[in-house]
């Protein structure tokens, strides 16, 4: 019960309370750039959710087994090389380089795979895939996972793969929700008479501010839920 409770908390936290776009401001570029039509926004959201899950899986694996201080694989190699050494190997200085490499190559792989085996799917969201490499939402999810794996002070607090995947998938769903809502509003906004200076990105940002205001209403839900699960 306790583990399921904490998973639900992470899921709701990532999707609603601390929505990636409206609370952490990551993934703003596609949020403004690709939110003109609902179907395109939905395609972008799906692509991001897909890539974010793969990147989270890979980055958790790398962080847990290789990069963090005292990680199993690195320690084993170090012991084979220097059996009498007391040093705990710590490769966390390579974190960022490894993450960006993982993201770039997984995007490339996903693109090739989808183009070969699901041409219809590729037609609907393939154009967004290269853009995703520089989408901060993906790197942000990797960094959050890193914070809870190599940054955890207490060994019992280290996140398992389940928590990492839940954070990534629901973070992606939260992104999809935000970008689809935004696209719906912008389709209506096209009918309106917006002052000339505010047209384009400016009015989009102000609308996003009002959306963020609505999402602010979710704050505190996590504390109530945490009390419920205890």
Partner 1 sequence: MVNDQPTALERFINGILPENPTYRQLLGMCPTLAVTNGMQSAMTMAGATAFVLICANIVVSLIRNLLKPHLRILVYTLTIATFVTIADRVLAAYMYDMSKQLGPYIPLIIVNCIIVCRCEVCASSQAVHIAAADAVGQSLGFTLALASIATVREVLGAGTWFGIAVMPAGFPNWVLMVLPPGAFITLGLLLGLVNWLTALWTQGRKAKPTAA
Interface residues with partner 1 (CB under 8 A)? 22-29, 32, 93, 95-97, 100-101, 104, 133-136, 139-140, 143-144, 147, 195-198, 201-206, 208-210, 212-213, 216
CB 59, min distance to partner 1, A? 12
Of the pair 4, 94, the CB lying nearest partner 1 is at 94
CB 195, min distance to partner 1, A? 7
CA distance 43 to 25: 20
Phi, psi of 150 (to 5 degrees): -90, -20
CA distance 174 to 48: 11
Of the pair 38, 136, the CB lying nearest partner 1 is at 136
CB 131, min distance to partner 1, A? 10
| Residue 17 burial by Cβ neighbours in a 10 Å radius (0-12, 13-18, 19+) | buried
Of the pair 38, 212, the CB lying nearest partner 1 is at 212
Of the pair 124, 207, the CB lying nearest partner 1 is at 207
CA distance 84 to 15: 48
Smallest Cα–Cα separation from 48: which of 121, 120, 113, 138?
138
CB 5, min distance to partner 1, A? 25
CB 79, min distance to partner 1, A? 27
CA distance 180 to 38: 6
Of the pair 54, 104, the CB lying nearest partner 1 is at 104
The three-class DSSP label of residue 54 is helix
């Amino acid at each position: 019960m306790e583990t399921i409770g904490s998973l639900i908390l992470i899921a709701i936290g990532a999707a609603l309370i601390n929505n990636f776009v409206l609370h952490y401001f990551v993934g703003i570029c596609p949020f403004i750039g690709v939110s003109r039509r609902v179907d395109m926004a939905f395609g972008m959201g799906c692509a991001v959710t897909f890539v974010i899950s793969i990147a989270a899986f890979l980055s958790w694996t790398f962080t847990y087994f290789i990069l963090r201080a005292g990680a199993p694989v690195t320690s084993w190699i170090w012991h084979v090389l220097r059996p009498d050494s007391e040093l705990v190997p710590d490769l966390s200085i390579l974190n960022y380089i490894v993450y960006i490499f993982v993201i770039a190559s997984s995007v490339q792989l996903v693109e090739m795979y989808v183009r070969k085996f699901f041409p219809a799917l590729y037609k609907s969201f393939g154009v967004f895939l290269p853009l995703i490499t520089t989408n901060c939402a993906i790197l942000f999810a990797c960094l959050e996972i890193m914070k809870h794996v190599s940054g955890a002070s207490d060994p019992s607090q280290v996140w398992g793969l389940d928590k990492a995947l839940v954070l990534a998938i629901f973070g992606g769903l939260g992104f999809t929700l935000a970008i689809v809502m935004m696209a719906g509003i912008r389709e209506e906004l096209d009918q309106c008479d917006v002052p000339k200076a505010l047209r384009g990105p400016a009015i989009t940002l102000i609308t996003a501010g009002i959306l963020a205001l609505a999402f602010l209403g979710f704050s505190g839900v996590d504390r109530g839920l945490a009390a419920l699960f205890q």
